[in-house]
Structure 1
Amino acid sequence: MKTFNVPVIYRSPLISAIKQQRKQQDKMKKDFTPTALDFGPVKILLARHFGFCYGVENAIEIAFRTVDENEGKRIFLLSEMIHNPQVNSDLLSRGVRFIMDTGGKQLIPWESLNPDDIVIIPAFGTTLEIESRLSALGITPLQYNTTCPFVERVWNKADQIGKKDYTVIIHGKPKHEETRATFSHSQSVTPTVVVKDIHEAEKLAAYIRGEQPADSFYEAFKGQYSEGFDVTKDLQRVGVVNQTTMLASETQSIADYIRGVMQQHYQLEDAQVQERFADTRDTLCYATNDNQTAVTGMLEAQADLAIVVGGYNSSNTSHLVELCEEKLPTYYIASEEKLLSRDEISHWDFHHSQELHSTGYLPAKTPVTIMLTSGASCPDAVVEGVIRKLLSFWDLEDEVEKMSINFTA
């Protein structure tokens, strides 16, 4: 796989050495057991896969190269390039400005832009409507495009099945930048509807079967269907694609469920299912799948708690937290700064969108075993920072260098 020129401040000698050794030992990526880092009184179980994915590294390389090569020009990002506070802060410090926030709220008026300005498309991609707006301003919309190739693959699949008269069902968060972009591209080709979870998929199934009055669909899925959507005919042939950062297992469950609904409702044999349901399994992102599978593998071990590191508005990170929460106490932090002391921690409750302050998160007994992973937009340097901060509570920070040498040898 291609390697990218990512600023060294995001790299970690320890993490790089660990990842390289695991890659050599497991070239086929079949071993999802965690890497055990034993520091005596504290043991860290590091997930097999975590951190920057292909799409994030691609976006970072393009964005920083764009800044370096266009000194003196005004440079804008449509919104946060990725959902990581450090990377976005670094870009802001270099003069890049955000046109919108992650929710789509305008921060800089479109009319203030001019043809000489540079506008970078974030890793989530953007809508066709915004591309047209940029073109109208004299700005080439895709000249500085960091859209993740795996997001574009979803768009291509939606386009492919849409042209075969399938309606597209998107499993995603309706307000997320990536889902908004995928929805825009899909609806330009075919009727499209968004479901955020299996419960909404079940609600949609009631309209497929005709169990709910058609008129009620438009209120039940308000803001989640394409213009002109006709519930009486647009749910007769469907396919499921996804926001790439959703739980892969949930996307697959939704696709399997809708497939079963179509097969049962239309009384189809297995060989006939594709008459009503398109096969879209290849739209699941490899990194999302690997990171989530690595957490599942990590959770087979015993530990006292889990720490998940990443931006608080990161969808893929929140799903790693969900998986960990099923098994043991889990703390979602943005960086090592949230580890206030051996007794106190500030952490994010994404279920209620609030930061919590907890005490007694680390057991008094030793050894303490901590599971550790991070989201796909979190730099490895931040993960190393978390390890160092944890070790500092036992005066063991110097052990990081020794551990790096062990994995490099």
Structure 2
Amino acid sequence: MKQFDVPVFYRSPLISAIKRKRKEKDKLKKDFSPTFLDFGPVQIYLARHFGFCYGVENAIEIAFRTIDENPGKRIFLLSEMIHNPQVNKDLLSRGVHFLQDTHGRQIIAFEDLTPQDIVLIPAFGTTLEIEQKLNSIGIHTEKYNTTCPFVEKVWNRSEVIAKKAYSIVIHGKPTHEETRATFSHAAFNAPSVVVKNMAQTIELSKYITGEKSPGDFYTEFKGQYSEGFDITRDLDRVGVVNQTTMLASDTQAIADYLKQVMIEKYGLTKENLAERFADTRDTLCYATNDNQTSVSEMLETSADFAIVVGGYNSSNTSHLVELCEEKLPTYFINNAEKILSPDEILHYNFHTKQELLTRDFLPAHTPVKILMTSGASCPDALVERVIEKLTAFFKESSPLDTMVEHFL
């Protein structure tokens, strides 16, 4: 896989050594067991796969190279490059400006742009409408487009099945940048509808089976279907794609559920299933799968609590938190500074969108056993700082340099 030129300040000597050693021993990525870091009074089980994915490293490389190669030019980001506060802060500190916030609200008007300006498309991609608007101004985004190749893969798969007269069901968060972009590309080629979760999928299926009145669809799914969507016709043949950062198991469950609905309604068999339902399993992102599988495997280890590091508005990170919360106390933090002391930690509840202060989070006994992972947009350097801060609370802990040498 291609190696990217990511700024060294995002790297971690410890994490790099660990990942290199694990890759040498497991080239085919069949071993998803966590990496055991024994610091003595603190024992950390690090997920097999975590941190920057291919798409994120690609986006960061393009963004920083663009800044270096265009001194004096105005450079804009359409919205956050990725959902990590440090990376976005670093880009802003280098003179980059955001045109929109993560919800698509305008910060700087498109009318203020000139053909000489540079606009970076973030890793999530963008809508066809925004792309056309920028092109009409004279800004050509091809050279500065950091859209993740695996997001583009979903768009391409949508186009392929659209040409075979399937409608597109998108599993994603309707307001998320990636889902808005995927919806725009899908809707250009076929009738499309977004479902947030299994609950919405079950309700959508009732329009397929006729259990619900067709007219109710347009109220229930307001803002989530393409223009001209005909509920009486456009769910006769469907394919399911996803926002790549959703739980892969959830997307698969949604696809399986809709497939069964089609089988039962139309009396389909394995031989003629494709008449009504498209196979789209190949659109699930490898990094999302690997990170989530790694967390599931890590959770087989008994521990006192879990720490997940990443941006609070990061979808893929929140799903890792969700998995951990099912098994043990979990603290979602975006940097080491949130660990205020050996007694207090400030962490994020992504369900209520609030930071919470928890006291006595470290147990009285030793060794303290901690499970740890991070989101796909989180620099490894942040994970190392979290490890460093935790181990520093215990005087008897082995130094990080010693642990690095262990993996060299």
CA distance in 2, matches of 1:187, 1:147: 18
Counterpart-to-counterpart distance in 2, 1:141 and 1:6: 21
**For each residue in 1:50-88, what CA deviation from the matched residue of structure 2 results, as whole angstroms up to 9, or x when unmatched?**
000000000000000000000000000000000000000
SS at match of 2:348: strand
- 2:19 match: 19
Alpha carbons 1:388, 1:397 under 8 Å: kept: no
Residue 160 of structure 2 is matched in structure 1 by: 160
Q: What residue in structure 2 maps to residue 290 of structure 1?
A: 290
In the comparison of the two structures, how many residue pairs are matched? 408
Deviation per CA, 1:261-304: give whole Å up to 9, x if none. Answer: 11111011111111000000000000000000000000001100
1:2-57 CA distance string (max 9 Å, x none): 00000000000100000011111111111111001011111000000000000000
Which secondary structure state, in structure 1, belongs to the residue aligned with residue 223 of structure 2?
coil
After superposition, the Cα gap between the structure-2 partners of 1:394 and 1:64, relative to the gap in structure 1 and judged at 3 Å, is: same
Aligned twin of 1:28: 28
Distance of 2:364 and 2:263 partners within structure 1: 55
Aligned with 1:355: secondary structure? Answer: strand
Residues 352-404 of structure 1: CA deviation (Å, up to 9, x unaligned):
11111110111111110000000000000000000000011113676101100
SS in 2 for 1:219: helix
In structure 1, distance between residues paired with 2:184 and 2:26: 39
**Cα distance in 1 for residues equivalent to 2:395 and 2:295:** 28
Equivalent in the alignment of 2:344:
344
Query: Could you tell me which residue of structure 2 aligns to residue 274 of structure 1?
Result: 274
**Does the C-alpha gap of structure 1 residues 201 and 377 become closer, same or farther in structure 2, counting only changes over 3 Å?**
same
Structure 2 contact 304–368 (Cα < 8 Å) conserved: yes
Work out the CA distance in 2 between the residues paired with 1:380 and 1:314. 16
- In structure 2, the residue matched to 1:203 is 203
1:97 and 2:117 matched: no
- Give yes or no for contact 1:78–1:119 (8 Å, CA) kept in 2: yes
2:233 alignment partner AA: K
Q: What is the Cα-based RMSD across aligned positions, in Å?
A: 0.7
- Residues of 2 paired with 1:40 and 1:144: CA distance? 47
> Counterpart of 2:402?
402
Q: Structure 1 CA distance, aligned partners of 2:284 and 2:326?
A: 23
Q: Which residue of 1 aligns with 2:119?
A: 119
Shift, 1:135, TM fit: 1.0
Q: What is the one-letter code of the residue matched to 1:61?
A: E
In the alignment, is the contact (CA less than 8 A) between 1:306 and 1:328 conserved in 2?
A: yes
Q: Determine if contact 2:308/2:375 at 8 Å carries over to the other structure.
A: yes
Give the equivalent residue in structure 1 for 2:320.
320
Output the amino acid matched with 1:22.
R
Matched residues in 2 for 1:398 and 1:328: separation? 26
The amino acid across from 2:168 in the alignment is V
Aligned residue runs from structure 1 range 74-93, under 5 A: 74-93=74-93
Q: Within the alignment, does 1:227 sit opposite 2:254 as a pair?
A: no
CA contact (8 A) 1:389 1:397 kept: no
- 1:247-274 CA-to-partner distances (Å, cap 9, x unmatched) read 0000000001111111111011111111
Secondary structure of the residue that 1:215 maps to in structure 2? Answer: helix
C-alpha separation in 1, matches of 2:140 and 2:48: 40
The residue type equivalent to 1:185 in the other structure is H
Matched residues, percent identical? 68
Distance 2:372 2:123 in 1: 25
Q: For 1:323, give the aligned amino acid.
A: L
* TM-score (normalised: structure 1): 0.99
Does 1:384 find its partner at 2:376? no
- 1:264 and 2:264 correspond: yes
Q: Which position in structure 2 is the counterpart of 1:148?
A: 148
Pairwise CA distance, 1:143: 2.4
Once the two structures are TM-superposed, the CA of residue 176 in structure 1 deviates from its matched residue by 0.1
Gaps of at least 5 residues in structure 2 are none
Query: Which digits, 9 at most, give the CA deviation of each residue in 1:158-215, with x for residues without a partner?
Result: 0000111000000000000000000000000000000010111101100010110000
Provide the C-alpha distance between the structure 2 equivalents of 1:83 and 1:212, rounded to a whole number of angstroms: 38
What is the match of residue 300 of structure 2? 300
1:345 and 1:279 map into 2 onto residues whose CA distance is 45
| 2:406 maps to amino acid | N
**What's 1:217 paired with?**
217
Residue 107 of structure 1 corresponds to which residue in structure 2? 107
Does the 8 Å CA contact 1:174/1:180 hold for their aligned counterparts?
yes
Partner amino acid, structure 1, of 2:403 = M
Determine the C-alpha separation between the residues in 1 that align with 2:354 and 2:334: 13
Partner SS for 1:173: coil
